[in-house]
Amino acid sequence: MKITFLGTGTSQGVPVIGCNCRVCRSTDPRDNRLRSSILVEWSGNRFVVDCGPDFRQQMLRYSVNTIDAILVTHGHKDHLGGLDDVRAFNYFLKKPTDVYASKEVQKTIRREYAYAFEKEPYPGVPEISLHSLSSKPFLLNGLPVIPVRATHFNNRHFVYGFRFADFTYITDAVKISKKEKEKIRGSKVIVLNALRKERHYSHFSLEEALDLMAELKPEQGYLTHISHQMGLYSEVSPLLPYFVQLASDGLAVTVSE
């Protein structure tokens, strides 16, 4: 199984519009971050987790010509704002795009992309086939998927992470219950969000993410959904434990199935 980080930035990406900080001015490509998303390739299948505003650019940048499904972690615009661009896949693959999302996120999709669900839609609108996502494990083209529910802000704002075999991906979490942690435990590779060094009301800080990595003990850990407030890649990396690193756009990871 191959996982490619299509984007590793927070909601504003890096650089941030109008910002002149050291990170936003950095010439190190590892400091330049599109909105968070990953591509999972398994046995000839391609699944994308989240499709934010940079979705089109990410598909072109990494020459992704086919996808079998999109899994949506939650309904915020930086994880859902590029869904209109599945139109290209509809055209070339001659079929709707399968989108897996919770019932709450499906409501958001139907509201934000209402024109795609009209009884007599305008020709060329995105063709989306919605599939319900819950905490129950399911098979995606034969690949076992274990959803991991995490708190984003409070009990009314949650996200789904996903475990694929020995790889677990969690973004936009601020808290994970003991029950949900058990779903993650044993993963060889774990990806967690880490917004910045300072604490935040709806995202793990660097310290919180590292504490959870130490608790779950993966062979390799990666941090994503990183803001410009985290600091320069070259300066933060030496501060991390030996088994954890900052993910960067384009980073590819191979995990045994």
CA separation for the pair 55, 154 (Å, rounded): 28
Measured at the CA of 231, the angle between CA 33 and CA 150, to 5 degrees, comes to 65
pLDDT at 256 over 90: no
Superfamily of domain 2-254 in CATH is: Ribonuclease Z/Hydroxyacylglutathione hydrolase-like (3.60.15.10)
pLDDT in tens, 57-111: 999 999 999 999 999 999 999 999 999 999 999 999 999 999 999 999 999 999 9
pLDDT at 154 over 90: no
pLDDT in tens, 20-50: 999 999 999 999 999 999 999 999 999 999 9
Query: Under a CB-based contact definition with an 8 Å cutoff, are residues 45 and 68 in contact?
Result: yes
β-pair partners for 69:
47
In 62-133, which residue ranges form alpha helices assigned H by DSSP?
Answer: 77-80, 87-93, 103-112
pLDDT level of residue 156 (50, 70, 90 thresholds): confident
As given in the structure block, the two tokens for residue 183 are 């779903």
φ, ψ for residue 246 (rounded to 5)? -70, 130
| Element spanning 179, H or E | helix 178-184
Amino acid type, 199: R
Looking at residue 33, its pLDDT comes to 98
pLDDT in tens, 201-210: 999 999 999 9
What are the percentages of helix, strand and coil residues in the chain, rounded to 5? 25, 30, 45
Rounded to two decimals, the pTM is 0.97
